[in-house]
Amino acid sequence: MPRMSAVVKERAGPGVRLIERDIPSAGPGEVIIRVRAAAICGTDVHIYEWNSWAQNAGIKLPIILGHECAGDVVEVGRGVDNLVVGDRVAVDTHIPCGTCRLCHTGRQHICQNLELFGVHTEGCFAQYARVPAACAWPLPQEVTYEVGALFEPLGTAFRGAQVLEPAGKTVAVFGCGPIGLFALASLRALGAARTIAIDVSPTRLELAAKLEADHLINPAGNDLAAVLIALTDGYGVDAFIEASGNTTALSQAFQALMKGGRAAIIGLPEKNLELDVGSDIVFKEATIFGIHGRLMFATWETMQNMVVSGRLQVESVITHRLPLQDFAAGIELARSSSAGKVILLPWQKKE
């Protein structure tokens, strides 16, 4: 049996190891991809740390980590008619059942029986990965593997921006990790008049500056809601995207929202939020969107068109590229707030 390198979590508790594994083969409805680029996400960090989320996420060990990736199809399983060997693809993490009411009504991304690639199945921090054909999105030549590997998180942020209908609006983004940075780039591509980047990390604000955010605000020591209201002639921002997962940020965001405004919530807070529902939502007539990933595949199509046209540029969010062997350094970088997106290259030899 031919072998490959893979980053595997073998048992409960912190840590993962790079080990040799059999190269998988494609079952019915599946393809095997040769992984050309994979990106590290907060979810991988949670599984690495084995925090309470990871312990309760239904993960069966051992598991290969990783879900954000792009590569080449090298094997096609029985019944797969949408892909052929040689196709370049990126992968959606959401694995739909295909039979529930949500799947039947165009909402596969929030399937009632949703499973996640790299969480409930073996993932892509490896030289090859087994992927449900229903989750593979063919990439045109213009999209590099590295950018293709960003499509999954970029799609979440892009959709958060889309639902706000941001053209001509002032939009605040709370949290400038990879998701917030992708949101800033998406807002600009979709015609926002002004973007306001908010983060407690100066490094992350520098990355936001590279994406030409119009205002950079560090909330530390500021009355953030007051600052945002002052920036908008006393009205508040037309819309916001919450991408920090911090409940203080989220309540400040609602305070700073203009009447009639829109909110897209992507961040996943660890604790419950206290809100003044009357003044922050009802009397404001706020419209609130929860965003869980991307529409399969309406978001992908629009986002890709924007990337190919050059209107949506996200390369600057990639701050590190590492061979797979250096996954541990990559995870440390992703844990710190000092990096943007960290890319693992499974076929690059360590120098």
Ligand X SMILES: NC(=O)c1ccc[n+]([C@@H]2O[C@H](COP(=O)([O-])OP(=O)(O)OC[C@H]3O[C@@H](n4cnc5c(N)ncnc54)[C@H](O)[C@@H]3O)[C@@H](O)[C@H]2O)c1
Among 178, 236, 261, 330, binds ligand X (CB under 6 A): 178
151 near ligand X, rule: CB under 6 A:
no
Minimum distance from residue 46 beta carbon to ligand X (Å): 8
Among 180, 236, 330, 346, binds ligand X (CB under 6 A): 180
Among 25, 99, 248, 305, binds ligand X (CB under 6 A): 248
Of residues 90-149, those binding ligand X (CB under 6 A): none
Minimum distance from residue 244 beta carbon to ligand X (Å): 3
Encoded tokens for 91: 């992968």
302 near ligand X, rule: CB under 6 A:
no
Identified catalytic residue from 43, 121, 170, 299: 43
Candidate segments 76-84, 98-106, 162-170, 263-271, binder of ligand X by CB under 6 A: 263-271
Q: In this structure, are residues 213 and 196 in contact, taking their beta carbons and an 8 Å threshold?
A: yes
Candidate segments 23-31, 105-113, 165-173, 193-201, binder of ligand X by CB under 6 A: 193-201
Encoded tokens for 61: 């060990």
Q: Which residues bind Zn ion (CB under 5 A)?
A: 41, 96-97, 100, 103, 111
268 near ligand X, rule: CB under 6 A:
yes
Binding site for ligand X (CB under 6 A): 42, 153, 156, 174-180, 198-201, 204, 219, 243-246, 248-249, 266-268, 291-293, 337
Q: Which residues are catalytic?
A: 43, 46
